[in-house]
Structure 1
Amino acid sequence: ETPPTSPVIPDADGQPIPPIALFGQNFHFGESSSTKNLLTGNYKIVWTGPMCPNLGKAWKRLGKMEKLMSERIDTKWRMKKKFKEQDRHFVGLGCDNIKMNRAVRNVMSDLSGLKKLVKDLSDQFDEYEGSKVFKDKRVLENKLVNERNGKEF
């Protein structure tokens, strides 16, 4: 079943506006404010184009989307501002990012050197502890401890 024809309504540029809904045979929605009299006896509505079933919900969703987008833009702006403030703070302290980076890397290098030194000393101590000299030293220490204990009692 094809929808009944309706008069062509042009927009400001002269382009025809497609009808949204047709009631009965010759009434186009929006042509008259006295729709009560015209709709009497017209029980059949024919949709001829896309129409949002609930404009209120669509308006609310649009408002929520607008709010979310503005919050996102505000958040990006606040983050940029915060980073600029931190940069100014470090520059105000006399800190340069390149110099700070170099200093941190130098400290890390020194720390790795200290770790290597401690490991080497630990390895040398382990070698010394396993040697015959260390065992002889331990025997002497035990004898001295026994002599002291014997003198005390």
Structure 2
Amino acid sequence: EVINPDVDNIPVPPVIQFGNFHVGESSASRDLLEGNDEVCMPGPMPCDMRSVHRGVKRLSKQMHDRYKTEKRMANILRQEELRRNGQAFDITALDSARLEDELRHLKLKDMNIVAYIERFNELALLCPDAVPNEKKKVEVYIKGLPEIIKGETTSSRPVTLNEAVRMAYELMEQKIQSKNERIAEG
């Protein structure tokens, strides 16, 4: 066994003991490290923490990439097995269901009305069956607004989505402006 001295001539073994230490925060890294108590260095071990940190990050990325590849391959094999058994596995149906669910539960976040409008329109285009008519679109759109705007928008009874968007945008601007005025007044 070769012992590499560090800067202070203190012997440093060529093996890093991980014990309970897990690389990164992802569960993928934790799962891959489970049962592995040691990692062998291919050459002399770096003596500064920056080099060790870079090495650990690189190792974590490699393990995560391998995990993703293995997961992707497992999905491909599962789909192939289902096809062989005569069952069609339609991934687009799963994606469509996920998008429809996102549309039904879409909420305005951080007072960013523009981002909310854009995402709502994207989802409405991707899932035309989830909002079959203009009235349903207006209902789903208003449902995602915060309570301070939802009541005023609903009481105005907008007929088209454009009316609802315009009202919500104006109300949101008023709320933001009044909030900024209160902050400025102290």
- Common fold, TM-score beyond 0.5? no
**TM-score using structure 2 length:** 0.24
- Greater Cα radius of gyration, structure 1 or 2: 1
